[in-house]
Structure 1
Amino acid sequence: MAVALDGGISSKDEREAVLAGLRDTPHLSKSKIAPDVLDKLLPDEYVELPRLRRVAGGLGYRFVKRTFDIIACSVALVVLAIPMAVIAWKVKRESPGPAFFAQTREGKGGRPFQLYKFRSMYTDAEARGAQWAVDDDPRITPVGKKLRNSRLDEIPQFWNVVKGDMSLVGPRPERPAFCAAFRERIGGWDQRTMVRPGITGYAQVHGGYELLPKEKARLDIEYIENRSILMDLKIMLRTLGVLKTGEGAR
C-alpha cells in the first residue's frame, strides 16, 4: 500500500482497503467510559456521516506539509526547552504525579500511539472511567487550568509531530474507548483517520469542545476533502487567535 508523505492514502482503492481493515480490526479500548458521558456525546440513535469523496493534497502539498512539520516542531522544542522545564516544575510542585502525561490515541489508519501532554489533572481524575472534558472541570488542577486555557499543555505534542505520529494540522485524535463507542453510533467515523491527526484542526477552530463528536467528524471530513497549504495556514493563524483568548478551552 502506498502511503503519502503526510500519512494520507493515495487512491480510492487504497482508501476502501483501509476503511475495510478498520471495520474488521479490533480496536484498543483499555479504559471504560464513565456511565453518564455517552448520553451527552451521542444524543441520537444513529448518524451516518457523508461519504469521503477524496483525500485532497498532491505530492507537493504532502512534501511541504511534512517538511514544515519537522522543521517547525524541532525548532519549537529547542526554543521552548527552558519554558517547558519551568512548566514541568510547576506541575509537579502543585500536585503529586508526573509532569508529563502519555495517553493512547488512535492515529492514521486507526493505529494507536502515545500522545504526550503536560499533566493538567489530578492523578485520580478518571477513577470512574474515561470522561469528556467539561466547563469548570473539577478534575483539573489550578495550574492545569492555566495550561489548558493557553493550550500550553499541548506543547509536548511537538515531539509527536517530529516522530511522525501527528501533524500540526489535522483531525484531532481521540481515545480508543471513545472511538469504539462513536464507531457504533456514527456511521463513517473511521473516515477521519485517513490522514495523520493534528495538534490543531479545522474542527478545533470552528467550535472545538462546543461541538458534538458527529459535528466534529463532519468538519474533519470537509478538511480532508479540501486541505491545502492555504487552508492549513488559515487554521494555524486562527489557532493563534484562540491561544490569545483561551476561547473554547476545557
Structure 2
Amino acid sequence: MSNTYVSERRYVHRLLGKAAVSEEVLIVTSYDYFLQKYDLALLLKKYKEIILIPHSSDDDYLLNHTVRPLLDKFEKIHLVTNPQYDKRNRVIYELVVRKNKSIRINTVYDFCEKILKKVYIPDDVSEINPNLFTIPVFGRRVRYPKKIIDVTVSIILFLFTLPLWILSYFRIKLESPGPVFFYQERVGINNTAFHCIKFRSMGLDAEQHGASFSKKNDTRAFAYGSFMRQSRIDELPQIINIFRRDLSLIGPRPERQVFTETFDETIPYYNMRHNIKPGITGYAQVMYTYGAGVYDARHKLMYDLYYIKNWTLALELKIILLTAVVIFKKRGR
C-alpha cells in the first residue's frame, strides 16, 4: 500500500487509507515524529483517514479553520492526546461533542504502547511519560527461560555456522592484514563495560579520526567485510560473549560509552535500557530500519523499553524469527 501525504491548507497533514476497514478518523494532536512508515501502514488499514496536527503558533486558526471542516466528514473520532497540547485537546473534544459525534480518547503514551507496541519517548527532555515511572529489572521468571534460550540457540548456531567461522578466518587474513577478531568496549547491564567480539570487517585505520557510527554500505569495510556486515556473519563471535555472560541473545544493542553518554543527556529514559543485558539482536533491530545518531537512538529506545516492560516468551521467540527474516533479506544494519 502506498502512503500519500496530502497538504491541507499548509497546516494539517492527512494520510488517506484507501483500504480502511473503518469509517473512523484518527487525530493525533501532538507532533508526529514517533510515527514511522511501519506504524502508518498499520494504522491506514484501520482508519479511514489519519490527521496529524503539527506544531503551530496559532492553534485557534489551525483548529477552527482547518481541523473543524474535516470533522464534518466523520461520525467516529479517535483522538490521541498529548498533555503538552492540552488546549488543542480540549478544543477538538468540544468541537466533536458539539457536533454530536462519537469520540474515544487515548493519551499518546497508551496509544503507542497498546496499538503500536512501543513506548512513547518524549521529544522534549522536560516531558514525562507517566507509563515509565517504573520499569522492571528481569527477575527469575524472565532470566531463567532467557538463559535456556541463550545457551541452546548459541550452541546450535555455533555448530551450524562453524564452516563460516573457518571461511571467515582465511578470507579476512587474505584481504586485510591484522587480527581476525575485533574487540570493542561496549556498555552492558548496569552500565558495566565489556569487550564485544566480532569478525573484523574494516581496515585497521577505520577510526583514525575518532569514534563514529558505522554506516550502511560503509566504505571503510573491505570486500569480504562488506559481505559479512550485510549477512551479519561478523556478529557470530558474539556467541562467545553470550557464553561469557556479557550478552544475551535478545536485548537492546550495546553501544559504546562515547555515544551512551551523549544519549543519556539528550534522550529521556535512555539509561533504562541498561537495566537488562544487551543482546546480539533485539526488538529495535527487527522493527526499526538502519540508522545512527540521536534521532534514531530515540526511536530504537521506544522498542527496547517496550521489550523490557512487556517481555513474554512469545515476544522473545517472535524476535528470533524476525531476526532470521532480516538476515535472509539482508535488510539494513
Q: What is the aligned partner in structure 1 of residue 182 from structure 2? A: 101
Verify: 1:135 aligned to 2:135, yes or no: no
Q: Which runs of 5+ in 1 are unaligned?
A: 1-43
CA shift digits 1:79-134 (9 cap, x unpaired): 43332021111011101111110100000000000000000111100111111122
CA shift digits 1:174-204 (9 cap, x unpaired): 0011111111212321100000000100100
Q: Which runs of 5+ in 2 are unaligned?
A: 1-122
Which of 31, 53, 71 aligns to 2:152? It is 71
CA shift digits 1:53-96 (9 cap, x unpaired): 33276533321110221222133324433320211110111011
Select between 172-181 and 69-78 the one with higher mean Cα deviation. 69-78
Verify: 1:215 aligned to 2:299, yes or no: yes
d(CA) in 1 for partners of 2:188, 2:178: 27
Q: Map 1:12-51; keep pairs closer than 5 Å.
A: 46=125, 50=129, 51=132
Q: Map 1:75-224; keep pairs closer than 5 Å.
A: 75-210=156-291, 212-224=296-308
Give how far 1:136 is off.
2.6
Q: TM-score, normalised by structure 1?
A: 0.76
Structure showing the higher strand proportion among its residues: 2
Identify if the C-alpha distance between structure 1 residues 95 and 45 changes in structure 2 by more than 3 Å, giving closer, same or farther. farther
The one-letter code of the counterpart of 2:309 is E
Q: TM-score, normalised by structure 2?
A: 0.58
| Residues 48 and 188, structure 1, Cα contact 8 Å, conserved in 2 | no
Q: What is the aligned partner in structure 1 of residue 322 from structure 2? A: 238
d(CA) in 1 for partners of 2:329, 2:312: 26
Verify: 1:53 aligned to 2:137, yes or no: no
Q: What is the aligned partner in structure 2 of residue 228 from structure 1? A: 312
Q: Which has the larger radius of gyration?
A: 2
d(CA) in 2 for partners of 1:148, 1:190: 27
| Residues 49 and 214, structure 1, Cα contact 8 Å, conserved in 2 | no
| Residues 167 and 196, structure 1, Cα contact 8 Å, conserved in 2 | yes
d(CA) in 1 for partners of 2:284, 2:192: 21
| Residues 57 and 228, structure 1, Cα contact 8 Å, conserved in 2 | no
| Residues 252 and 284, structure 2, Cα contact 8 Å, conserved in 1 | yes
d(CA) in 1 for partners of 2:231, 2:127: 34
d(CA) in 2 for partners of 1:120, 1:208: 21
Identify if the C-alpha distance between structure 1 residues 164 and 126 changes in structure 2 by more than 3 Å, giving closer, same or farther. same
2:219 counterpart SS class: coil
Identify if the C-alpha distance between structure 1 residues 128 and 221 changes in structure 2 by more than 3 Å, giving closer, same or farther. same
Identify if the C-alpha distance between structure 1 residues 175 and 48 changes in structure 2 by more than 3 Å, giving closer, same or farther. farther
- Report which structure shows greater RCO (CA 8 Å, sep ≥6): 1
